Amino acid sequence: MALSRKIDEIPSDAVLLSRDEVLKYEWKLIEQWTPESDVWPIRYGVAILGVASGLSSLLINNHYRVKLRLGTYARFATYLPCVAIPTMMSCFSHNEFITNSVLLQNECPVCLEVRAASFQTLLSTIFPIVTVPLATFNFALRYNTYRLPSITEKPKEVFKLWWKFTKPIRYPLYYNIAFQCILAMGVTYFEGRSFEKLQTAIAKLEHDYERKHTL
């Protein structure tokens, strides 16, 4: 079955599909496509970005936990919001707002790459660098593992302490942002190339089929 996006090329007996139906059709095609090497960026790109975001969040979380001497205290309570959530959101946002747009071909490739880099940077670095200190400072106060100033009475002192802990890793954070941007843009680029390759292969199969049955 040929799938056309150009209205002026649709024949009178064509079946018009909604956005969701088009995506369902194309995802099913990708899941069943062989060889897998043709479509691996689309199949596994989201997972790659999720792992990258999770590892970044994990390292940031561990850094602050060590600084605040939390040890085994509140591991689950900091890992869930500060590591699991960025990982899941990174996968969801890329799949929903990037990969689906690649399959629909309704936006320019450069726009998608920039958006992918923005999502990945936000969720892999910016989100944890904000949420991890909030969570770990709170548990350090609760379990009395580190002497902290009152955030309501001495907010400047709390900020200075945050900067004291963050300053040693500021350059690794810069490198991480660059890495996450390049990775997200690269995954998006290869998703686009993979989909173009898929379309070319389908067009060739349809051409060969029509030629065989018209002779």
Max CA separation in the chain (angstroms): 86
Give long-range contacts, CB 8 A cutoff, 24+ apart: 19-28: 19/104, 22/103, 22/104, 23/100, 23/103, 23/104, 26/103, 27/103
Q: Tell me which residue of 22, 39, 21, 17 sits closest to 30, measured CA to CA.
A: 39
23, 104 contact by CB (below 8 A): yes
Q: Report CA-CA distances (Å) from 64 to 22, 52, 59, 118, 199.
A: 45, 19, 9, 24, 47
pLDDT digits (tens, 9 = 90+) for 82-141: 999 999 999 999 999 999 999 998 899 999 999 999 999 999 999 999 999 999 999 999
| DSSP helix/strand/coil, 172 | helix
Question: To which residue do tokens 């079946």 refer?
Answer: 15
Nearest-angstrom CA–CA distance, 116 and 119 = 5
Residues 6+ apart with CB under 8 A from 14: 4
Per-residue pLDDT of 48-83, as tens digits, reads 999 999 999 999 999 999 999 999 999 999 998 899
> What confidence score (pLDDT) does residue 126 get?
96
Residue 215 has pLDDT above 90, yes or no: no
pTM above 0.85, yes or no: yes
Quick one: pLDDT band at residue 3, thresholds 50, 70, 90?
low
What's residue 93's pLDDT?
97
State how far the Cα of 122 lies from the Cα of 94, in Å rounded to an integer: 12
Q: Is the peptide bond before 35 cis (omega within 30 degrees of 0)?
A: yes
Q: What is the pLDDT of residues 146-184, one digit of tens each?
A: 999 887 888 899 999 999 999 999 999 999 999 999 999
Tokens of 46: 């989201």
DSSP 118-169: HHHHIIIIIHHHHHHHHHHHHHHHHHT-S----TTT-HHHHHHHHHHHHGGG
